[in-house]
Amino acid sequence: GQQVMQIPQYQHVQEGEDFTTYCNSSTTLSNIQWYKQRPGGHPVFLIQLVKSGEVKKQKRLTFQFGEAKKNSSLHITATQTTDVGTYFCAGPTYNAGNNRKLIWGLGTSLAVNP
Amino acid sequence: GAVVSQHPSWVICKSGTSVKIECRSLDFQATTMFWYRQFPKQSLMLMATSNEGSKATYEQGVEKDKFLINHASLTLSTLTVTSAHPEDSSFYICSASERKSWEQYFGPGTRLTVT
């Protein structure tokens, strides 16, 4: 079945270092989404990428969607302690009732040492 | 915008009792709502998807008679854990999507402990 794989599972960085998490899908995606979950919190929608090769930036965060629309990355420049959390990518699919749902990566947990 | 509330935020119940969790979209119409379960340091496990006014679609391996889902209106969905057992203890999170949108907006979650 359709799978979304995400690496690395964990990453520890010193504050100020860069961080990247990668997401790969077993199938071509119509879009890919990224979410952030702070420790003890709930996932929060960050962004959706739709176009092949698309690059979007949100301050220090850069999101890319691969040309083949099967992979994506999230890069954080100069990490801060506020970036701590788990970053999930998710790809669209349909359930047995033909309703929309997301396939989730396992997430990358980011720890930042001050 | 896109705020989802969930109640209660935590609940402790005795084994064999039932617990109802409410999920509300506060500022948009949620044509689709999702119920997830999340274990510590793990990803989100989708339990079921529900559309307003229709029966929920459960993921493989999720017991529909144990986890009753009702999506009675465009702003409210409920999950009832029936005859709860300690292994049902978990973090349950709902999310909601607007019509024709893939983006999901999550509630703050409910931590269920069954003793």
Residue-level pLDDT at A2: 84
The answer, for A11 touching chain B at a CB cutoff of 8 Å, is: no
- How high is the pLDDT of residue B79? 97
Helix (H) or strand (E) holding A47: strand A43-49
Q: Is the pLDDT of residue B65 over 90?
A: yes
Q: What is the pLDDT of residue B110?
A: 97
Closest partner residue to B51 (CB to CB) among A92, A96, A99 is A99
HEC readout, chain B:
CCCEEEECCEEEECCCCCEEEEEEECCCCCCEEEEEEECCCCCEEEEEEEECCCCCEECCCCCCCCEEEEEEECCEEEEEECCCCHHHCEEEEEEEECCCCCCCEECCCEEEEEC
Q: How far is B83 from chain A (nearest CA, A)?
A: 26
Residue pair B115/B14 in contact (Cβ under 8 Å)? The answer is yes
Give the whole-angstrom CA distance, residue B37 versus residue A29.
24
The residues on B that touch A, with CB distances below 8 Å, are 2, 32, 34, 41-44, 46, 49, 51, 57, 59, 93, 95, 97, 102-109
When pLDDT is averaged across residues A31-49 and rounded to a whole number, the result is 96
| Whole-number Cα distances in Å, B65 to A52, B21, B51, B52 | 42, 16, 18, 19
| DSSP states along B54-67 | SPPEEPTT--TTTE
CB contact under 8 A, B106 and A92: no
Rg (chain B; Cα; Å): 13
- Residue A63: what residue type? F
Q: Any idea which residue has 């529909």 for tokens?
A: B64
For A44-100, how does the pLDDT look when each residue is reduced to its tens digit (9 = 90+)? Answer: 999 999 999 999 999 999 999 999 999 999 999 999 999 999 999 999 998 887 888
Q: Whole-angstrom Cα distance, residue A110 to residue A13?
A: 8
Average pLDDT over residues A11-37: 97
Q: How many CB pairs under 8 A join A and B?
A: 55
A45 Cα to chain B: minimum distance (Å): 7
* First-to-last C-alpha distance (Å) of chain A: 41
- What is the C-alpha separation between B5 and A104, in angstroms, rounded? 22
Question: Of chain A residues 51-80, which have a CB less than 8 A from chain B?
Answer: none
Question: Token pair 């379960």 is at which residue?
Answer: B37
- Of residues B94, B82, B110, the one with CA closest to residue B19: B82
Please give the residue of chain A at the shortest CA–CA distance from B57. A97
Answer whether the bond into residue A39 is a cis peptide, omega within 30°. no
Residues of B in contact with A44 (CB under 8 A): 106
Chain centre distance of CA B27 = 18
Specify the pLDDT at position A41.
94
pLDDT reading at B1 higher than 80:
no
B23-49 pLDDT, tens digit each: 999 999 988 999 999 998 888 999 999
The answer to whether the Cβ–Cβ distance between A41 and B108 falls below 8 Å is yes
Closest by Cβ to A101, choosing from B34, B42, B109: B34
